Structure 1
Amino acid sequence: MDGFQAYGAGKAGGAFDPLTFIRQPQTVVRLLCWLFSVVILGCISNEGYINRPEEEEEFCIFNRNQNACNYGVGMGMLCFLCCGSLMALDIYFPQISGVKDRKKAVMADIGMSAFWSLMWFVGFCFLANQWQVSEEEDNPLDEGGDAARAAILFSFFSVFTWAVQSLLALQRFRMGADSVFNQEYSDPELPEAPPTEQALPIDE
């Protein structure tokens, strides 16, 4: 990057390097967040509901609380989409020429990551509590039990992955634009300013 850095990326206009992008810590953590959301979504949507012969409708495996299953499915879907959007932003980020625009993008990353970490903490507590108070007679064969426990476990993991993502974004925010970047970086879309003329000393 030739020594120029602004919020974790160099000058705009450089070629995209997939290997460098994949090796970045923020990309690795982002992929983990995406993977965990897929696991939670799949576990609850596929095995989170039980159909008893004597009942007409399926009920949620988490204490028959439909809100618990809806919360897990909704969070998994939204996080899946959010991870995809943030990943696209990470790819486009080095092409953003304006320092202020980069600052806004990093601040949005911090806010969203912290928000999802909090929401997954709430989800973990909610799912774990509903699973703990579930009646054994509602599911004597423990159907979908492994899927329910996996959803709870990966909800717990998601709290930390999103928190780490928020910390990484905070680190990028603190990096800011270094002094060299501020002095020598110019927006490629704007013409360079003409050099200023220095006033000659007047002989007395």
Structure 2
Amino acid sequence: MQGSAYGASLAGGAFDVVNFVRQPQTILRCLSWLFSIVVFATITAEGYVNEAEKPEAQCMFNSNDSACSYGVGIGVLAFLACVVFLVLDAYFPQISNAKERKYIVIGDLVFSAAWTLLWFICFCVLASQWSHTLDQTALPGDAARAVVAFSFFSTITWALSSYFAYARYSQGVNDFDQDYRDPASDQTTPYPPAPYPSGPTGYQQSPFSQNQEQPGDYQPPAY
């Protein structure tokens, strides 16, 4: 973990693509991004079926349109969030302000924890609705099982992202507890004392003050 208030003292330098791609957080975000596409794209493409006795298409999960809408909504928002956090992760090493880094880390932690819970709810809802679906043979069962499975996988990846975000947040809190001061905004550092005394007590009379001639004492030279 980077020290000095969320690694603010280590900011700068060239962007290392190889190191960025190898980071666990980057891998988890890419997996979460991919899983979210599978969930909302599968529901959108194959999640609604037309039944003979009903004029409108119904959700394949026990004809519960709310279940399909929930899965699509969670998946689309997770997809957008992964893109945003990937950009922030790439830009994060260039941020020198400790407060900005703190806000990014807290936002990552809160969102990851919230989406871990929402994905788990999505998994439970879809799995329950699919188990109560009567005629599963007439429905795209592989697509339904894929949506349920990748909802569960998304829960795991977002939970791991929450863990890494919490570890980074805890490291930053410890650095602030050690009286860290951001060099860019620290105005309390005193200036070094002047090398010479100041004020009237340090005044010294000029050495030439006693030898100065008065204007009336001037004598022209004799030729």
> Using a 3 Å threshold, how does the CA distance of structure 1 residues 116 and 8 change in structure 2: closer, same or farther?
farther
* Alpha-carbon offset, residue 198 of structure 1: 7.9
Aligned partner letter, 2:156: F
Q: Which residue of 183, 194, 197 maps to 1:186?
A: 183
Matches of 2:19 and 2:26 in 1, distance apart?
10
**Native 8 Å contact 1:4 1:181 kept in 2:** no
Provide, for residues 71-127 of structure 1, a one-character-per-residue CA deviation record: whole Å limited to 9, x for no partner. 111111111011111111111111211112211110111000000000001111110
Partner secondary structure for residue 59 of structure 1: strand
**Native 8 Å contact 1:62 1:131 kept in 2:** yes
Matches of 1:154 and 1:9 in 2, distance apart?
36
Q: Decide which structure has the larger Cα Rg and report it.
A: 2
Q: Verify: 1:48 aligned to 2:44, yes or no.
A: no
Taking structure 2 as the reference length, the TM-score comes to 0.76
Provide, for residues 28-59 of structure 1, a one-character-per-residue CA deviation record: whole Å limited to 9, x for no partner. 11111111101111211111111234432111
Aligned length: 192
Aligned partner letter, 1:121: F
Percent identical pairs in the alignment equals 47
**Native 8 Å contact 2:8 2:101 kept in 1:** no
Taking structure 1 as the reference length, the TM-score comes to 0.83
Aligned to 2:214: none
Matches of 2:9 and 2:114 in 1, distance apart?
28
Aligned to 2:145: 149
Aligned partner letter, 1:79: A
- CA-based RMSD: 2.8
The gaps in structure 1 that reach 5 residues or longer are: none
Matches of 1:9 and 1:145 in 2, distance apart?
50
Aligned partner letter, 2:150: F
